Amino acid sequence: MGNKNKTISFRVNEDAFEALRDIAEERDISLSAVFRDYVDTLVAHDGQVRAVPEAELKSAGEPGESFPPRVEVPKSFIREHERLELEADHLREQLDEYKRYVNHLREQLDDDGEDVIHLEDLDGERDDRGERDEPSFRLG
């Protein structure tokens, strides 16, 4: 299907329409391009876009401040974030490997169901008093 363009239609009052037309003429672009730019910006910033006249924007903020506001993040934070992402990827890979190994062991167990050995069978035979013929050893 691909990426098809869709048409959006809505109504604005005459004053807003004239203002939008002035913006388009000022930028030397079509009125449709104004809306496309706005929609692209809106999508890129996850709906966090506010249309503010440039005069208000310049008087509201500090000189050189842009909208949307930007925050400077230290490189150490970015490096730590990247390190944690790599570690998370590595842990996911290990988890997948362990899951494959467990599935492999289960398949072997299902295939070789007759080779079950009980630990009691491995113990030496007991005499009448309940003692073993062989000496017992304890792991620990």
Same-domain status, 32 and 56: yes
Whether residue 29 is contained in a domain is answered as yes
Residue 46: give the domain boundaries. Answer: 14-60
Q: CA 89 to CA 83: how far, in whole Å?
A: 10
Q: Looking at the structure, tell me whether residues 49 and 82 fall in a common domain.
A: no
Question: pTM of the entire structure?
Answer: 0.34
- Domain count of the fold of the chain: 2
Q: What is the pLDDT of residue 24?
A: 84
**pLDDT grade for 58, boundaries at 50, 70 and 90:** low
Q: Burial, 34: exposed, middle or buried (Cβ in 10 Å; 0-12, 13-18, 19+)?
A: middle
Q: What is the reported pLDDT for 76?
A: 92
